Amino acid sequence: MKLDHNNYDDDDDDNDDEAHKMCLAIIDRDVSNGDDCNGEDLFSPPLNFAMVDNGIFRSGFPDSANFSFLQTLGLRSIICLCPEPYPEANMEFLKSNGIKLFQFGIEGYKLFSDHEFRSQNFYVFLEPFVNIPQDTIREALKVVLDVRNHPVLIHCKRGKHRTGCLVGCFRKLQRWCLTSVFDEYQRFAAAKARVTDQRFMELFDVSSLKHLPMSFSCSRR
């Protein structure tokens, strides 16, 4: 089954696509002009790629253009928060590099309606109440906390909402204040930030996970 990245997620953002394409175009131009370092190929990280902590990374859905970059991370595992079957090309990449896939399917959502107003079309995006599965996030966190899975990459489609919620709950385990948790979430979600996501992170109970070993320096006092 071919995975259609354009249909299953709520995180669609044309601006992100254009920015990412522009970045790739600049890389292609520089390489063609001989501007790459010492004649070596330049790497292309996935959309919204960032380091979360030692051995933990986050991003949007990686594609074949990102595989060379991912190899530099020496990944042991990938956490995918999308419910659809993983693309065949990605599965081949994981297999050839000995990377384990943990898939925790969380449905995306996006509702909109087209309104006619003064002969103009306006798209009104409605944010429904969504019951984000706490048990799923909790199980994904257990994978994140297990250093045997490191280095690990967490991703959804755009690396914003689902990934942001998981990372936000991880930050609560690290005793981050909610203001800092929300600031980080909003840096990636930007104009697409959702009150429901932030409410979920605020109410998420980390007490059942505090007994798990944590090797992160910022989690200790």
Active site residues: 156
Q: How far apart are CA 104 and CA 60, in angstroms?
A: 15
| C-alpha distance from residue 74 to each of 99, 101, 142 (Å) | 9, 14, 20
Do 196 and 130 contact (CB within 8 A), yes or no? yes
Nearest to 200 by CA among 176, 175, 167: 167
Alpha helices for 72-133 (secondary structure H): 88-96
What SS3 class is residue 154?
strand
CA nearest to 10, candidates 200, 193, 183, 204: 193
